[in-house]
Amino acid sequence: MPTYEQKLAEFAQGKRLLRLARPIRDRADAFCDACGSTQPRTLYALEDLDSERHYFVGDTCLKELAKRGAILRYGRHSGRVAFENEMKLRAQEFQADEGTNADGGPNSKPGEQNPSAITAQPNPGNDAECLFPGILVIQTVERYQAFASAFSTRDGTYSWGHAEEPRYNEVWRPGGERGLVLEQERVDSPDALRQCLIEAWEDAC
C-alpha cells in the first residue's frame, strides 16, 4: 500500500496546479483526490493548467502540496462552480465507461476503466465571479485582521469577508540548566499574513 508521501507525489506528478477561490464546505460526499481520504470537511479546488481538469483536496494535502511547490499560483475562478462542473463531467465519464463495458467494447473488462472516458475535456465556461475593489489589513500586537470587499460580476452585488490569524505560534522547548524543563516560547508565524489575506478573500468571494 502506498504511503501518504507516495500518494502526494503521484498526484502532483505532471500537473501544473492553480488554486481557485471559494472552497467547498461540509459536503457529505467530500473526497480528497490527492490522498483518497473521505474525512475533509473542506475541499480546496485546484485546476490543472494543462488538462483544464479540476481536483479537490483537503486542508492538510493543500498545505503539503504548497510546500512542495506543486501549486503555481492563485486564481479568482470559483472553486464551488468548478466542483459542480467537474462532478458532472466525472459522472458522464463513469456512465460512458459503464456503457462501453456493458456493450463489450474493445479491451473492456469488469472493473477496468475505459481510457477514452478519461480524455481531458475543456472546462465549461467559468468566468471570473468576483472582483476585489479593496482590502484592509489591521496589525495588532497579537494578530492580523483582514477585511476584503468583493463585487460580483454575476449579480452586481457587493459582499464582504473577514479573517483573523495570530502573528505567533506557541511552542514548547527544553529549558532550565539541564534542559529538563519545558518552557513555552512564542515564535513568529511567517505565513500568518498571507493566510489571513487568503481566508478573507475566500470569505468575501
Tell me which residue of 117, 39, 26 sits closest to 80, measured CA to CA: 26
Check residue 93 and give its pLDDT. Answer: 78
Last residue of a domain, one of 126, 156, 171: 126
CA–CA distance, 188 with 152 (Å, rounded to integer) = 35
What is the total residue count of the chain? 205
C-alpha to C-alpha distance for 47 and 65, rounded to whole angstroms: 13
Question: What is d(CA 33, CA 14) in angstroms, rounded to the nearest whole number?
Answer: 15
Q: How far is it, in rounded angstroms, from Cα 148 to Cα 146?
A: 7
Strand 17-21 to 71-78 pairing: parallel
Same-domain check for residues 96 and 109: yes
- Give pLDDT, residue 55: 92
Residue by residue, pLDDT tens for the chain (205 residues) are: 789 999 999 999 999 888 888 888 887 778 899 998 988 888 888 988 888 899 999 989 988 898 888 887 776 677 778 888 888 887 887 777 666 555 554 444 444 444 333 333 333 333 445 555 678 888 888 889 888 887 766 666 777 788 888 898 877 777 666 655 666 678 888 888 888 888 887 777 6
Residues 166 and 98 in one domain: no
Last residue of one domain, picked from the residues 79, 98, 126: 126
**103 and 185 both lie in a single domain:** no
pTM of structure: 0.47
47 and 119 in one domain? yes
How far apart are alpha carbons 85 and 124 in whole angstroms?
7
Residue 34: give the domain boundaries.
Answer: 1-126
pLDDT at 84: 81
**Do residues 50 and 115 share a domain?**
yes
182-to-161, 171, 177, 185, 186 alpha-carbon distances in Å: 39, 10, 11, 9, 13
Indicate the number of domains in the chain.
2
Last residue of a domain, one of 70, 91, 126: 126
Same domain? 14 vs 104 = yes
Tell me the CA distances in angstroms from 112 to 11, 108, 115, 116, 117, one per residue in order. Answer: 20, 7, 9, 12, 11
Q: Are residues 135 and 98 in the same domain?
A: no
Residue 183 sits in the same domain as residue 112: no
Task: Verify that 33 and 107 share a domain, yes or no.
Answer: yes
pLDDT at residue 33 in the model: 93
> 172 is written with which cell numbers?
514548547
Same domain for 45 and 70, yes or no, is: yes
What's the pLDDT score for residue 76?
A: 66
E strand or H helix that includes residue 49? none
d(C-alpha 73, C-alpha 68), whole Å: 13
Whether residue 175 contacts residue 181, with contact meaning beta carbons closer than 8 Å, is answered with: yes
